[in-house]
Chain A
Amino acid sequence: MSEPVLQLNGISKHFGMTKALSNMSISLLAGEVHAIVGENGAGKSTMIKIMTGIHQPTSGAIKVDGATRVIAGPQAARDAGIAAIYQEPMVFPDLDVAENIFIGDKSSGILTRPAAQRKRARALIERIGIKLDPSRIASGLTLAEQQAVEIARALSQDVRVLIMDEPTASLSAHEAEQLRKIAKTLAGQGVAVVYISHRLEEIFEIADCVTVIRDGSHISTKPIAEVTSDGMIAEMVGREVGNYFAKAASTATDEVIFEVRNLTLDGVFEDISFDLHKGEVLCMAGLVGARRTDVALALFGVTPPTSGTVKYKGQTTHFTTPRDAIEAGIAYVSEDRRKLGLAMPMAIKSNVSLATLNDFLSPLGLLDRAEEDKVAHHFSDRLNIRTPDVETPVGMLSGGNQQKVMLAKWLNLNPELLIFDEPTRGIDIGAKAEVHDLIRTFVAEGGAALVISSDLPEVLAMGDRILVMREGHQMGILDHTEATQKAVMMQATGQMQEAV
Chain B
Amino acid sequence: MLSRVPPQTLRILALLLVLFAVLLFFSTQVPNYLNGRLFNRISSSVAIMALIACGQTLVILTRNIDLSIGSTVGFVAFATGSLITNNPDIPPLVLATYSVLLGACFGVVNGLLVAYARIPSIIVTLGTMALFRSALVEYSDAKSITTNNLPTWLVEFPNTQLFTIGTFQFRAAFVVAVLVVFAVHIALTRLRPARKIYAVGSNPEAAEMAGINTKLVVFFTFVLAGALAGLAGFMFLARFGTITVVAGLGFELKSVASAVVGGVNIFGGSGSVIGALIGAILVDLIDMSLVRWQLVSEFWREAVLGSLILLSVAADAILMRRLVKWRVAREKKQTKSGVSS
Chain A residues with a Cβ under 8 A of chain B: 74-75, 78, 90-96, 99, 103-104, 108-112, 130-131, 133, 135-137, 139-140, 142-145, 153, 172-175, 178, 266-267
Is there an interface contact between B211 and A94, defined as CB atoms closer than 8 Å?
no
Instruction: Find A108's partner among B3, B192, B340 (CB 8 Å cutoff).
Output: B192
Is there an interface contact between B270 and A94, defined as CB atoms closer than 8 Å?
yes
With A and B bound together, what is the CA distance between A323 and B323 in angstroms? 29
Chain A residue nearest to B339 (CB atoms) is A174
Instruction: Find A111's partner among B4, B6, B190 (CB 8 Å cutoff).
Output: B190
Is there an interface contact between B6 and A137, defined as CB atoms closer than 8 Å?
yes
Is there an interface contact between B338 and A140, defined as CB atoms closer than 8 Å?
no
Residues of chain B contacted by A139 (CB below 8 angstroms): 323, 327
Is there an interface contact between A143 and B192, defined as CB atoms closer than 8 Å?
no
A464: min CB distance to chain B, Å: 36
With A and B bound together, what is the CA distance between A347 and B203 in angstroms? 34
Does residue B195 face the partner (Cβ distance < 8 Å to A)?
yes
Instruction: Find B340's partner among A91, A135, A144, A267 (CB 8 Å cutoff).
Output: A144
Given A74-B211, A95-B198, A103-B199; A142-B340 close (CB under 8 Å): yes
Given A142-B331, A142-B340; A137-B7 close (CB under 8 Å): yes
Is there an interface contact between A112 and B192, defined as CB atoms closer than 8 Å?
yes
Residues of chain A contacted by B192 (CB below 8 angstroms): 108-112
Is there an interface contact between B332 and A104, defined as CB atoms closer than 8 Å?
no
User: Which residues between 1 and 34 of chain B lie within 8 Å of chain A, taking CB atoms?
Assistant: 3-4, 6-7
B274: min CB distance to chain A, Å: 16
Main secondary structure of the interface of B (DSSP, over half): helix
Is there an interface contact between A110 and B193, defined as CB atoms closer than 8 Å?
yes
Residues of chain B contacted by A95 (CB below 8 angstroms): 195, 198-199, 202
With A and B bound together, what is the CA distance between A92 and B339 in angstroms? 24
Residues of chain A contacted by B327 (CB below 8 angstroms): 139-140
Chain B residues with a Cβ under 8 A of chain A: 3-4, 6-7, 189-193, 195-196, 198-199, 201-203, 205-207, 209-212, 265, 269-270, 323, 327-328, 331-332, 334-336, 338-341
Is there an interface contact between B328 and A90, defined as CB atoms closer than 8 Å?
no
Is there an interface contact between B340 and A178, defined as CB atoms closer than 8 Å?
yes
- Besides A92-B202, A112-B191, A142-B341, 6 new A-B residue pairs in contact (Cβ under 8 A), listed by A number: A90-B206, A92-B203, A93-B269, A103-B196, A103-B212, A104-B212
Given A78-B211, A111-B192; A93-B331 close (CB under 8 Å): no
Chain A residue nearest to B205 (CB atoms) is A90
Is there an interface contact between A174 and B211, defined as CB atoms closer than 8 Å?
no
Is there an interface contact between B334 and A142, defined as CB atoms closer than 8 Å?
yes
Residues of chain A contacted by B203 (CB below 8 angstroms): 90-93
With A and B bound together, what is the CA distance between A59 and B227 in angstroms? 51
Is there an interface contact between A112 and B206, defined as CB atoms closer than 8 Å?
no
Residues of chain A contacted by B339 (CB below 8 angstroms): 174
Residues of chain A contacted by B193 (CB below 8 angstroms): 110
Chain A residue nearest to B190 (CB atoms) is A112
Is there an interface contact between B338 and A172, defined as CB atoms closer than 8 Å?
yes
Given A90-B205, A172-B335; A137-B3 close (CB under 8 Å): yes
Is there an interface contact between A136 and B202, defined as CB atoms closer than 8 Å?
no
Is there an interface contact between B340 and A175, defined as CB atoms closer than 8 Å?
yes
16 cross-chain CB contacts under 8 A: A90-B203, A90-B205, A94-B265, A94-B269, A103-B199, A103-B212, A109-B192, A111-B190, A112-B190, A140-B327, A142-B331, A145-B340, A145-B341, A174-B335, A267-B331, A267-B335
Is there an interface contact between A111 and B191, defined as CB atoms closer than 8 Å?
yes
With A and B bound together, what is the CA distance between A173 and B207 in angstroms? 31
Residues of chain B contacted by A267 (CB below 8 angstroms): 328, 331-332, 335
Residues of chain A contacted by B212 (CB below 8 angstroms): 103-104
With A and B bound together, what is the CA distance between A182 and B4 in angstroms? 24
Residue of A74, A92, A172 most packed against chain B (CB within 10 A): A92
With A and B bound together, what is the CA distance between A106 and B339 in angstroms? 35
Instruction: Find B202's partner among A94, A142, A178 (CB 8 Å cutoff).
Output: A94
A73: min CB distance to chain B, Å: 10
B9: min CB distance to chain A, Å: 11
Is there an interface contact between B198 and A140, defined as CB atoms closer than 8 Å?
no
Residues of chain A contacted by B205 (CB below 8 angstroms): 90
Is there an interface contact between B198 and A92, defined as CB atoms closer than 8 Å?
yes
With A and B bound together, what is the CA distance between A371 and B336 in angstroms? 55
Is there an interface contact between A94 and B335, defined as CB atoms closer than 8 Å?
no
Residues of chain A contacted by B4 (CB below 8 angstroms): 133, 135-136
With A and B bound together, what is the CA distance between A92 and B201 in angstroms? 9
Chain A residue nearest to B196 (CB atoms) is A103
B173: min CB distance to chain A, Å: 30
A237: min CB distance to chain B, Å: 31
Residues of chain A contacted by B201 (CB below 8 angstroms): 94
Residue of A99, A130, A153, A178 most packed against chain B (CB within 10 A): A99
Chain B residue nearest to A131 (CB atoms) is B341
Is there an interface contact between B209 and A74, defined as CB atoms closer than 8 Å?
yes
Is there an interface contact between A90 and B209, defined as CB atoms closer than 8 Å?
yes
Residues of chain B contacted by A178 (CB below 8 angstroms): 340
Is there an interface contact between A92 and B6, defined as CB atoms closer than 8 Å?
no
Residues of chain A contacted by B6 (CB below 8 angstroms): 96, 137
Is there an interface contact between A143 and B331, defined as CB atoms closer than 8 Å?
yes
Chain B residue nearest to A130 (CB atoms) is B340
